[in-house]
A and B are shown apart, each in its own frame.
Chain A
Amino acid sequence: MKRQRSTKQRTLAFAHGFILFIACLVVLVPLAYLVINSVKLPREFLTVPPTILPSEVTLEHYRDLFEDSKTFRHFRNSLTVTLWTTGVTIISGTLAAYGLARMRLSARILAGVTFIFLFIRFYPRVTTVIPYFLVMRELDLLDTVWAIIIGQLGITIPFVTWLMLVVFQDLPREIEEAAIVDGASVLQRFRRVVLPIVMPSVSAAAILTAFLSWNEFLIASSVARRKASVLSIAVAGFVSDKGIQWGPMAAMSVVMIVPMIVFALFAQKYLIRGITFGAVKG
């Protein structure tokens, strides 16, 4: 290693830092601008040039949001949907994955199962949304949180099963053999031996499911528009023929984005593993 860096190297290092700086700005400035907009006074919205730093910080948009019983309901619905979807998905997905992993299926069948997971992850979901709408109409479930939850389960369960299947396949069977010798049943083996080991993966799957469910839009917007409407629909609802309600729209976006950013900062590894799952092996 040479101590003295040449001018060329210094220029390169500077360019490197500069590009990264710009990249960070491109990510941060829009987010900051959104937050600023959510605390701007209404009269400062459509000024030319735009108000970058508002003369006064106001929380009225947030207050309006949470005092409005409609928005509060959206928020509550989003929470209900996310909690139910995550709970049911984690339980049934983990069980199913364990079942599949220990059934001694032939490689060919396992490949078929994996293909189905891949297919469900990537086929044009808009294909099934219309029949799903009709089924929910038939069952009189339209505009209920249940229609949203059941619809989302169709996406999240196969995904989590796939994720956990890979985890269980990597888990050596020897770990369970001692328990088998002791005469433990499958259920006991699963609960006492396997589950504690894979707990980190289960939490990762739970975080990912919550993330998918909270942000989900297509199913929610097709089966629930009024009573059972959730945040993701409400965010888009501030645009109407009468114009755009900039303040509430910005405030609502912040409410929607913040929990996920917190997730991303504190559970980054888990979230990333889930989002890129399938593209990267394992």
Chain B
Amino acid sequence: MPWLVLFVVPALIIVVAVQFYPLAYSAFLSVQDWVLTESQRPKGFVGLENFTKELADDTFRRSVRNSVYITGGALALQMTLGICLAYLTMGASWRMRAIRTLLILPMVIAPVAAGTLWRILLNSRAGLVNHLLSQIGIKGPEWLASPDWAIVSVIMLDTWQWTPFVLLVVGAAIASIPEDLLEVAAIDGASRWHTFLYVELPLLMPLLLLTLVFRMLESLLSLDSIYSLTFGGPGYSTYTLTYYIYTLGLRSFNFGAAAASSWLFMIFASLSIGLVFWYQRRDW
């Protein structure tokens, strides 16, 4: 027993020092007035002022809205595409295995490099995307220079990079559905579509929800891809909540405000994490 405790200690120390202590520190900062460029020490307790200020702040609200658009759009696309591709790449033949290996490549690329890659592709004049569009007679938009298209660009990047995740998870789940179940449905005269709708989908539902929440959190938390694709721009048009907090804290050094908005974010994230936890512990 003492050995076992000793085994856990190094890991515990690091987790407490690098996760829990900063977490508590950040809770402390959220009720302090502290801008590093104005003072070297916190200027004092301000109650919930940071929170109320943030909630009324235009950039904060805009970032929340952008996050909702980006994550919502990206999730809708990658869930749909991921499920479709999971069905289309079913099977253990070498060809399907090769295709699956190929399709998951975007997922292993560093998000920051994926961002620069798409920056190259989406260049409005000399980029490949607009070139291909012009080949079929469409004049491509100014992807990264127009506020609306910049949001679409971020959605495209997230979809390109993370559809493979959905493909993988759903693919594994489909493969684990008992063959007999599908055969019974087929014998009963159910069409392929009906089998999917009434037999497979209900079985897959819990996993699909779980995947959705997973991807939602990861997409909301990601900083790197926005950083290298758009820098939050043009203007504030692709500021996501994470990007906003990051710049507020580590560019403007407004620690109090950054901590407060990150705790607002934390409330939502914790609820989602709680949901995942609850879902995983149920038996299904």
Contacts and interface: CB of A to CB of B under 8 A. Distances in A.
Contacts of A103: 1, 4-5, 8
B66 interface: no
Interface centre among B15, B266, B269 (most CB of A within 10 A): B15
Given A95-B8, A279-B211, A34 B117 contact: yes
Given A98-B7, A126-B245, A217 B223 contact: yes
Nearest to A135: B22
18 contacts: A30-B160, A46-B125, A95-B8, A99-B7, A115-B277, A123-B266, A125-B221, A126-B245, A126-B249, A130-B259, A133-B250, A154-B19, A236-B116, A236-B228, A261-B108, A264-B104, A271-B108, A276-B169
Interface residues of B, number: 91
A217 B262 contact: no
A119 B224 contact: no
Interface centre among B4, B6, B116 (most CB of A within 10 A): B116
Given A20-B88, A103-B5, A157-B11, 7 more contacts: A24-B102, A102-B4, A124-B221, A157-B15, A250-B120, A256-B110, A264-B108
A187 B126 CA distance: 62
Contacts of B121: 30, 33
Contact of B168 (A46, A96, A276): A276
B273 A123 contact: yes
Nearest to A219: B18
Contact of A92 (B14, B118, B120): B14
B280 to A, nearest CB: 7
A161 B15 CA distance: 11
Given A27-B105, A123-B269, A272 B168 contact: yes
B23 interface: yes
Interface in B110-147: 110-113, 115-121, 123, 125-128, 131, 134
A126 B105 contact: no
Q: In the A-B complex, list the 3 residue pairs whose CB atoms are closest, starting with the nearest.
A: A154-B18, A99-B7, A96-B11
Interface in B206-225: 207, 210-211, 214, 217-218, 220-221, 223-224
B169 to A, nearest CB: 5
B25 interface: yes
A81 interface: no
Nearest to B248: A130
Contacts of B134: 49
Contact of B220 (A100, A124, A131): A124
Interface string A187-222: 100000000000000000000000100110110011
A169 interface: no
The SS class assigned to the A binding surface is helix
B227 interface: yes
A264 to B, nearest CB: 4
B102 to A, nearest CB: 6
A95 B18 contact: no
Contacts of B250: 129-130, 133, 222
Contacts of B88: 16, 19-20, 23
A257 interface: yes
A150 interface: yes
Contacts of B111: 215, 217
A48 B108 contact: no
A249 interface: yes
Interface in B7-64: 7-8, 10-12, 14-15, 17-19, 21-23, 25-26, 29
Interface string A111-140: 100110011101111111111111100000
Interface in A1-57: 16, 19-20, 23-24, 26-31, 33-34, 37, 45-50, 52
Contact of A218 (B7, B8, B223, B281): B223
Nearest to A51: B126
B246 interface: yes
Given A30-B118, A236-B228, A261-B108, A130 B19 contact: no
Nearest to B102: A24
Given A95-B7, A235-B112, A153 B14 contact: yes
B172 interface: yes
Nearest to A160: B11
B69 interface: no
Interface stretch (A58-66, A68-76, A170-178, A238-246): A238-246
B122 to A, nearest CB: 10
Contact of A129 (B116, B165, B168, B246): B246
B195 interface: no
Interface in B81-95: 85, 88-89
Contacts of A122: 214, 217-218, 221, 269, 272-273, 276
